[in-house]
């Protein structure tokens, strides 16, 4: 999975229901949140959302508020009520109702969790403590993958980028606690303090597991020093966006030559896998890892693995561990108070019981007619996108034909999977939260390694059903919209077409466009990383993309931090293309063809306001600073202003002329699709 237009927990978007009355006396465009003193041509985001931005306060237990945050919270409440009922019911053993209810009950049994303290991790810590050399340590963490405790090796199994019908073992860079490599080298006071907080957090966890204060402090210092050395080998977030650079398929003997210090054959045997080849996505990490393992003290490596082990289990342990994890995490989230327990367990249920909860959620909250309306919307946007491709004046007919083939091959997944995964092998009890999670970790690992070398199951989903999100996957050439996002106010099947197309329609178009952004365009109709462009068309695409990079790099996100136009390029292309496609599809509807006003607004005005209110978000500065460094999405304000002022119909809708601040001449407007 690659293309996600919101990041779980931190970046969320939703179309808030508006409050201008439509002809059916329903509410869809919220004028109370608009700033009518602002001119739409000076700052459209402020015009659409300014009053709301000024008066709104972020809840203490959230990193932000606004559209998706609201829907996420509503979904959590729905799931919580569902799970409370299931936990109090009497369901036959092995049913999805029993598993979901008992898992929730075990997570909410705080008395039992407190009583156990850190006993559940004592055996694992004892094993780490007994290690004498780095090769033994590697074998220990390799064995840990089966119980969710794998470390130092970033391991996954998914479609081979150049043979998308078959699964392959993947090794990727890992080993850092802070968000990315630059957090270990920047010298500004805020980043220095964040490194200090990491060291404090590690010290706290070591103290909780009976290290004396001197030993705990020494271990924590070793962790930071080792992670700093590891960080130097990491690729940057921008470099990670290059699919060709990050595809490095090699044999096991070649992997052994890359990092001869690591006994790969023994490691794979311990992991229970026998790969013929591996895609080593970031070889520099594994070359450096081998060298560091052999050269750095084993005590430092043991401290690192011990810290990772405790931190990875913190949310499963007693409240002191949970609180310590929260205190560390809030330096990036900005949360003021720890969220209530039920929210954590709802999220844990969704994360770990996946299709079990998904079935129950879809059955209760996603009607079949909503799925049918979405199917029709997607078809309309595909038609509009195809027409746009045909009219492109910069692309040759040869490449257009390939683009049409890829668009026609897009798989659409709406609401929930066509088949549900079984959790029959997992015995869930109401009294052992830690044990339940260990069994689920084992279940997922076994599921993962069974895929290796096998045909890709294109019916699988990489996102849970209740998630307020959507994605495009290159390898499957698919767009996926879970039921969690397909609810009011994000998607109201009864809303007028202007609101539907300006809202969920723009998101559908966004995900489609990801198949043709600077990354997605490198994959063919079957999801293979393969060049299907003429050289001239590629050069023309890159020239337009460079203009988008320059445009977005001018925007200041927070403090003095600018948007990284190169990091956000793919999402910006998708935002620009998505709104253009949605508008064209809207103009195919009766409302789009007409001029009848609803509550004083023309169809086009409603379309663009619906889009702008989709991104009605307010985030804490701590979150914003982190996202500017690592998130491939632009801040919400620029997902509006950076897009609409490149759209010719927007100017006509609001009578915007060159006297307004954000006016762009036709020659300066940039669109690719």
Instruction: Kindly provide the b/e burial profile for residues 371-380, where b requires at least 16 CB atoms within 10 angstroms of the residue's own CB.
Output: bebbeebbeb
Average pLDDT over residues 439-446: 98
**CA-wise closest residue to 663 among 614, 510, 654, 605:** 654
**pLDDT for residue 16:** 28
What single DSSP character describes residue 532? -
Q: Is the pLDDT of residue 85 over 60?
A: yes
Q: Which pLDDT band holds residue 219 (cuts at 50, 70, 90)?
A: very high
Q: Which residues, including other chains, have CB under 8 Å from residue 661's CB and lie 6 or more apart?
A: 41, 42, 43
Q: Is the pLDDT of residue 567 over 90?
A: yes
The C-alpha atoms of residue 596 and residue 612 are separated, in whole angstroms, by: 21
The C-alpha atoms of residue 62 and residue 80 are separated, in whole angstroms, by: 18
**pLDDT for residue 654:** 98
**pLDDT for residue 26:** 53
Q: Is the pLDDT of residue 179 over 70?
A: yes
By the 8 A CB rule, do 365 and 485 touch?
A: no
Q: Which residues, including other chains, have CB under 8 Å from residue 253's CB and lie 6 or more apart?
A: none
Q: Which pLDDT band holds residue 7 (cuts at 50, 70, 90)?
A: very low
Mean per-residue pLDDT of the chain: 94
pLDDT cut 90: percent of the chain above it: 93
Higher pLDDT, 74 or 14: 74
Q: Which pLDDT band holds residue 490 (cuts at 50, 70, 90)?
A: confident
Q: Is the pLDDT of residue 2 over 80?
A: no
User: How does pLDDT run across 494-535, given as a tens digit for each residue?
Assistant: 899 999 999 999 999 999 999 999 999 999 999 999 999 999
User: How does pLDDT run across 324-344, given as a tens digit for each residue?
Assistant: 999 999 999 999 999 999 999
Higher pLDDT, 27 or 543: 543
Average pLDDT over residues 580-587: 98
Q: Among positive and negative, which fits the CA dihedral 345, 350, 355, 359?
A: positive
User: How does pLDDT run across 60-69, given as a tens digit for each residue?
Assistant: 999 999 999 9
Average pLDDT over residues 601-617: 97
**CA-wise closest residue to 503 among 2, 10, 29:** 29
- Angle between the N-to-C axes of helices 355-365 and 96-108, in degrees from 0 to 180, rounded to the nearest 10: 110
Q: Where are the domains of the chain?
A: 3-78+356-421+460-653, 118-317
User: How does pLDDT run across 452-483, given as a tens digit for each residue?
Assistant: 999 999 999 999 999 999 999 999 999 999 99
Q: Is the pLDDT of residue 75 over 50?
A: yes
Q: Is the pLDDT of residue 140 over 50?
A: yes
Q: Which residues pair with 411 in a beta bridge?
A: 478
**pLDDT for residue 11:** 32
Strand bridging mode 561-562 / 617-619? unpaired
Q: Is the pLDDT of residue 577 over 90?
A: yes
Other C-beta atoms closer than 10 Å to the C-beta of 537 total 20
* Fold of domain 118-317: Neutral endopeptidase; domain 2 (1.10.1380)
By the 8 A CB rule, do 407 and 393 touch?
A: no
Q: Which residues pair with 4 in a beta bridge?
A: 471
Q: Among positive and negative, which fits the CA dihedral 628, 343, 154, 419?
A: negative
**CA-wise closest residue to 613 among 15, 26, 11, 12:** 15
**pLDDT for residue 27:** 62
Q: Is the pLDDT of residue 3 over 70?
A: no
Find out if CATH 3.40.390.10 is the number for domain 3-78+356-421+460-653: yes
User: Tokens representing 305?
Assistant: 């693995």
**pLDDT for residue 489:** 79
User: How does pLDDT run across 349-384, given as a tens digit for each residue?
Assistant: 999 999 999 999 999 999 888 899 999 999 999 999
Q: What's the pTM value of the predicted model, to 2 decimals?
A: 0.94
The C-alpha atoms of residue 234 and residue 229 are separated, in whole angstroms, by: 10
Q: Is the pLDDT of residue 10 over 70?
A: no
Q: Is the pLDDT of residue 627 over 70?
A: yes
**pLDDT for residue 574:** 98
User: How does pLDDT run across 247-274, given as a tens digit for each residue?
Assistant: 999 999 999 999 999 999 999 999 999 9
């Amino acid at each position: 999975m690659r293309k996600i237009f919101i990041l779980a927990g931190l970046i969320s978007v939703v179309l808030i229901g508006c409050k201008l009355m439509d002809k059916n006396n329903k509410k869809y465009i919220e004028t109370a949140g608009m700033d009518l003193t602002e001119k739409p041509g000076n700052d459209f985001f402020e015009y659409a959302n300014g009053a709301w931005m000024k008066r709104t306060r972020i809840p203490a237990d959230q990193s932000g508020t606004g559209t998706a945050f609201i829907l996420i919270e509503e979904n959590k409440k729905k799931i919580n009520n569902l799970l409370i009922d299931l936990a109090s019911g009497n369901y036959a053993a092995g049913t999805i109702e029993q598993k979901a209810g008992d898992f929730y009950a075990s997570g909410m049994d705080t008395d039992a969790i407190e009583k156990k303290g850190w006993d559940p991790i004592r055996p694992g810590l004892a094993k780490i403590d007994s290690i004498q050399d780095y090769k033994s340590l590697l074998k220990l963490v390799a064995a840990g993958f089966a119980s969710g405790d794998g470390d130092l090796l970033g391991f996954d199994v998914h479609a081979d980028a150049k043979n998308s019908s078959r699964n392959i073992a993947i090794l990727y860079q890992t080993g850092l606690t802070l968000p990315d490599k630059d957090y270990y080298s920047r010298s500004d006071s805020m980043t220095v303090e964040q490194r200090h907080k990491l060291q404090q957090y590690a010290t706290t966890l070591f103290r909780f597991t009976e290290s004396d204060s001197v030993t705990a402090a020494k271990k924590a210092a070793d962790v930071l020093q080792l992670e700093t050395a590891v960080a130097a080998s990491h690729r940057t977030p921008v470099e990670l966006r290059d699919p060709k650079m990050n595809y490095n398929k090699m044999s096991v003997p070649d992997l052994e030559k890359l990092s001869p210090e690591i006994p790969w054959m023994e490691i794979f045997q311990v992991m229970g896998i026998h790969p013929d080849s591996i895609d080593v996505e970031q070889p520099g990490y594994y070359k450096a890892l081998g060298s560091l393992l052999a050269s750095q003290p084993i005590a430092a490596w043991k401290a690192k693995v011990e810290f990772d082990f405790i931190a990875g289990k913190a949310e499963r342990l007693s409240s002191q561990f949970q609180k310590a994890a929260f205190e560390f995490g809030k330096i990036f989230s900005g949360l003021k108070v720890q969220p209530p327990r039920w929210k954590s367990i709802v999220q844990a249920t969704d994360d770990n019981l996946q299709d079990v909860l998904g079935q129950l959620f879809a059955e209760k909250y996603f009607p079949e007619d909503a799925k049918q309306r979405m199917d029709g919307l997607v078809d309309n946007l595909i038609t509009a996108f195809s027409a746009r491709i045909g009219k492109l004046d910069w692309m040759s007919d040869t490449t257009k034909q390939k683009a049409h083939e890829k668009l026609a091959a897009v798989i659409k997944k709406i609401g929930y999977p066509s088949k549900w995964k079984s959790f029959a092998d997992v015995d869930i009890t109401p009294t052992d939260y830690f044990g339940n999670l260990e069994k689920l970790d084992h279940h997922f690992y076994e599921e993962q390694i069974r895929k290796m070398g096998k045909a890709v199951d294109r019916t699988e989903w990489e996102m849970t059903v209740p998630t307020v999100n959507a994605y495009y996957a290159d390898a499957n050439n698919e767009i996926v919209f879970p039921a969690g996002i397909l609810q009011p106010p994000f998607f109201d099947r009864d809303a007028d077409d202007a609101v539907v197309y300006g809202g969920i329609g723009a998101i559908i178009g966004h995900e489609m466009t990801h198949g043709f952004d600077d990354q997605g365009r490198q994959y063919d109709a079957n999801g293979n990383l393969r060049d299907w462009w003429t050289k001239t068309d590629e050069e023309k695409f890159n020239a337009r993309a460079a203009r988008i990079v320059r445009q977005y790099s001018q925007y200041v996100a927070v403090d003095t931090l600018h948007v990284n136009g190169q990091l956000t390029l793919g999402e910006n292309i998708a935002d620009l293309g998505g709104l253009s496609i949605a508008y064209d599809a809207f103009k195919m509807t009766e409302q789009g063809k007409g001029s009848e006003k609803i509550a004083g607004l023309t169809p086009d005005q409603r379309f663009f306001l619906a889009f702008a209110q989709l991104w009605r978000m307010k985030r804490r500065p701590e979150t914003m600073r982190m996202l500017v460094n690592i998130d491939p999405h632009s801040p919400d304000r620029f997902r509006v202003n950076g897009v609409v002022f490149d759209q010719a119909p927007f100017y006509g809708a609001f009578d915007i002329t060159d006297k307004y601040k954000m006016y762009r001449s036709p020659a300066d407007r940039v669109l690719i699709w």
